[in-house]
Chains A and B, each alone.
Chain A
Amino acid sequence: MFKQESIDISCTDIVVNVQQVSKVYMQIQRDLAGQGLIKGLLQPQKKKINALEDLSFTIHKGEFVAYAGPNGAGKSTTMKILAGMLLPNQGTVSVLGLSPHLDRIPLMRKLGVLFGNRTELWWDHPIQQSFEWKRVVWDIPKPIYQENLALVTDLLDLRPILKTYARELSYGQRMKADLAMMLLHSPECILLDEPTLGLDVVAKRRMIDFLKYLNVQRGTTILVTSHDMDDLQEMAHRILMISNGRLVYDGHFEGLRTITGNMTRITLTMNQEIEPGFEFGTLLEASQGVYQFEVDLMRYPIESVLQHLSQIQGIQDIEINRAPMEQVISELFQRWKGTP
C-alpha cells in the first residue's frame, strides 16, 4: 500500500526525523446495561488502539509538508509526539536535532506549535499584552521581537486589534493573533494542527499566503495538518498521508491521482436533452442538457477521448477538469480503510 514518490529537494539538513515510531492507547469500553455493566464496574474492559504503527519519515529544512489522513488516523498524535507532549511506545524522534522529550526547553526556543482548536492568548488581556508576555517568557531579544512584531502586524493586518481583548475577537481574528504570537520568536520549524479550521475564505486566504511567505522568504520548515485538501495542495509541496496509524503515501499531490487513476471530469452541454453516446466515461450527472462524465485518462489516452468527442453530434460546449482532490483523497481513504 505504501507509495513513495521521489522529490527533488535542494536542502539537505534534516529538521524532523521520525523513525519506526509506534504509539498505542488503551480505551475503556462500557456496556450500558445488563451483566456487562456490572462486570465493567469491577473489571473495566479495555480496547487496544494502535494510534501509530511503525511510522517513519524525514522532513528537510525549508520544506512545506502537508500531513493528512482521515479522522482518527494519528495526525494529532504525531504532532503531540513531535512537540514532546507524548512519548512513543517505540521508535525515535528528533526535531531540529533535539529530542522533544529530553531537550524540551531548548527545542521550544526554536519550534513553533499551534493547535487550531486552542489559543495561547491571554483571554482577559489585549493582544499586545499576550505578545509582551511571549517576549518575556521566550526571552526574545527586543530588536528581534520588534522586527517580528512589525512583520506579523503588517502581513496579518493586526493593527486594528492589537489593543482588543482576546475574548472579544472573532474566531478568525484570534487565529491570526495566535499565528502571529507563535512567530514572534522566529521559529525555525512550525507545527500547525488544523490552522484553517473554522476560518472564512478571506481569513483562510490570508493565512495561506502568510505561511507561504514564511516558507519561501524565511526558509521556515512547516508541517501542517488539515482536512481541507485544497488548502493543503495550495500550501504544501509534499504530502504525507497517514491511515490507521501508518504512512501510506509520501510524495507530491499529483502522485495521489495516479493511485486511483487519472480521473477527469468531462462536462458536455448539448443542444438537446439527449444523452450523448460517450463510451469512454461513466455518467455522473445529467440535468437540462448538461451531462457530466468521469473518464480515467490512464485507461483512455486523451487523444482518443478528444477524437471520440469530435465525432459526437450536438455538442454545444465541452468542459474538461481534473477530479477534485477531495474526491481523490476520499476514494483513497475508503480504499485504505479496508486494508489491514
Chain B
Amino acid sequence: MWGGDTLKKFMKIIQMSYMGQTNDGYLYVLPRILVKLLYLLPMLVLWRVLAKQGANLPWTLSQLLSYTYVQTLFADLLVVQTEASSWNYEGKLVSYFTRPFGVLRQLVAQTMGSWIPMLLFFALPMYLLSPLIGIDVIPRTFWFFPSLCLCVMLGFAIDFIFVCVTIHLRGMAWLGYVIRMSIAALFSGSVIPFSMMPVFLIPFLQIQPFGSLAGAPLSFLVGQAEPFRVIGLQVFWNMVLWPIAIGWFRKSQETMVSYGG
C-alpha cells in the first residue's frame, strides 16, 4: 500500500503544494504570520488579565498560556482543513480522478504541503522563542505526541465527511463550509479550553467528535488529560468516522463527477 513509488508520489505532491504557495516569493507568508500573531497576543494577554483580576481559573496561568501558544502554532494540524470543499464547488476535485493516485491521498498530501510554509516560518521560530517570553511549550506528558497524530488523522476524516456533505449540498457548498468552520471553532476547544466553559457543558464538549481534535492533544500538553479516556475517545472516533468518511466518499463519487462536469 505504501511502497517506495507511492511514497515518492506522495512527497512530490507535498512538494508541489508547498511550492505553489511560495513560487511568488516568501514575503507573502508574512501577512499570514502577522495574522497569527494578532490572534495569539490578545489571547495571551487575556489570560494574564484574568489571572491578575483573581478570577477563579481551573488551570494555572502557565497552563493557559501554553495551551493558547501551541494551539496558534499548530492550528492547521489541530483542526485539519483541506481545500476539498471549495474545490468541489468548482468541480476541481474531479481532476484528481484522472491521476493514478488515490484521491484522498492526494488531498492529504496537498494539505500537508500547504502546512509547510507556516510550520517553517512561524511555528518553528516561535517554538524556539518561547523560553524567552516565559511560555513553556514542552509537553507535560509524552501522550501529547500520539494524541496529536490521532488528532490529525481524525481531522482528515471529519474533513472528508464534510466534503461529502458539500458535494450533496451542491450549489450551497459555501454554506456547509461556514457551518462547519463555526462548529469546529467552538467545539474543538481550539479557542477556549473546555475546562474554562460553564461546568454543565464540559462533559458534552469533551465527548463529541470535535472534542477529540485540538482540545485533546492540547490538554495533554498542559498535563490536564486522563490518557485512557482522551486517547480512548480519539481512537473511538477515528474508528467510527474513518469508515464513514471513506465509504461515503466512494459513494459520492458519481455525484461529484457529474456535478463537476
User: Which residues, 24 to 55 on B, are CB-close (under 8 Å) to A?
Assistant: 24-26
A188 CB to nearest B CB, Å: 35
Number of A-B contacts (CB under 8 A): 10
Q: Which residues on A sit within 8 Å (CB–CB) of B23?
A: 28, 30
Q: Which residues on A sit within 8 Å (CB–CB) of B171?
A: 123-124, 167
Q: Which residues on A sit within 8 Å (CB–CB) of B26?
A: 41
Task: Give the complex CA separation of A124 and B23 in angstroms.
Answer: 34
User: Which residues, 99 to 135 on A, are CB-close (under 8 Å) to B?
Assistant: 123-124
B28 CB to nearest A CB, Å: 12
A281 within 8 A of B: no
Task: Give the complex CA separation of A123 and B173 in angstroms.
Answer: 14
Task: Give the complex CA separation of A28 and B22 in angstroms.
Answer: 12
Q: Which residues on B sit within 8 Å (CB–CB) of A44?
A: 25
Q: Which residues on B sit within 8 Å (CB–CB) of A167?
A: 171
Chain A residue with the shortest CB-CB distance to B15: A32
Q: Which residues on B sit within 8 Å (CB–CB) of A28?
A: 23-24
Q: Which residues on A sit within 8 Å (CB–CB) of B25?
A: 41, 44
Task: Give the complex CA separation of A269 and B19 in angstroms.
Answer: 59
Q: How many residues from A make CB contacts under 8 Å with B?
A: 7
A167 CB to nearest B CB, Å: 7
Task: Give the complex CA separation of A123 and B171 in angstroms.
Answer: 9
0/1 interface trace, chain B 9-26, chain A, CB 8 Å (1 if under): 000000000010001111
A265 CB to nearest B CB, Å: 38
Chain A residue with the shortest CB-CB distance to B24: A28
A30 CB to nearest B CB, Å: 6
User: Which residues, 114 to 169 on A, are CB-close (under 8 Å) to B?
Assistant: 123-124, 167
A273 CB to nearest B CB, Å: 44
Chain B residue with the shortest CB-CB distance to A37: B19
0/1 interface trace, chain B 164-194, chain A, CB 8 Å (1 if under): 0000000100000000000000000000000
Task: Give the complex CA separation of A332 and B79 in angstroms.
Answer: 57
B166 CB to nearest A CB, Å: 15
Task: Give the complex CA separation of A21 and B171 in angstroms.
Answer: 43
B245 CB to nearest A CB, Å: 27
Q: Which residues on B sit within 8 Å (CB–CB) of A30?
A: 19, 23
A43 CB to nearest B CB, Å: 10
Task: Give the complex CA separation of A41 and B24 in angstroms.
Answer: 9
A140 CB to nearest B CB, Å: 28
Chain B residue with the shortest CB-CB distance to A124: B171
B27 CB to nearest A CB, Å: 10
B8 CB to nearest A CB, Å: 15
B235 CB to nearest A CB, Å: 41
Chain B residue with the shortest CB-CB distance to A44: B25
0/1 interface trace, chain A 6-43, chain B, CB 8 Å (1 if under): 00000000000000000000001010000000000100
Task: Give the complex CA separation of A44 and B24 in angstroms.
Answer: 9
Task: Give the complex CA separation of A124 and B89 in angstroms.
Answer: 13
A199 CB to nearest B CB, Å: 16
Q: Which residues on B sit within 8 Å (CB–CB) of A123?
A: 171
0/1 interface trace, chain B 133-173, chain A, CB 8 Å (1 if under): 00000000000000000000000000000000000000100
Q: Which residues on B sit within 8 Å (CB–CB) of A124?
A: 171
Task: Give the complex CA separation of A156 and B25 in angstroms.
Answer: 48
B106 CB to nearest A CB, Å: 20
B88 CB to nearest A CB, Å: 14
Chain A residue with the shortest CB-CB distance to B259: A167
Task: Give the complex CA separation of A293 and B26 in angstroms.
Answer: 59
Task: Give the complex CA separation of A30 and B23 in angstroms.
Answer: 8
Task: Give the complex CA separation of A257 and B250 in angstroms.
Answer: 55
Task: Give the complex CA separation of A28 and B25 in angstroms.
Answer: 10
Q: Which residues on B sit within 8 Å (CB–CB) of A41?
A: 25-26
Known: A28-B24, A41-B26. 6 other contacts (CB 8 A): A28-B23, A30-B19, A30-B23, A44-B25, A124-B171, A167-B171
Q: Which residues of B contact A (CB under 8 A)?
A: 19, 23-26, 171
CB pairs A–B below 8 angstroms (10 shown) = A28-B23, A28-B24, A30-B19, A30-B23, A41-B25, A41-B26, A44-B25, A123-B171, A124-B171, A167-B171
Q: Which residues of A contact B (CB under 8 A)?
A: 28, 30, 41, 44, 123-124, 167
Instruction: In the A-B complex, list the 4 residue pairs whose CB atoms are closest, starting with the nearest.
Output: A124-B171, A30-B23, A41-B26, A44-B25
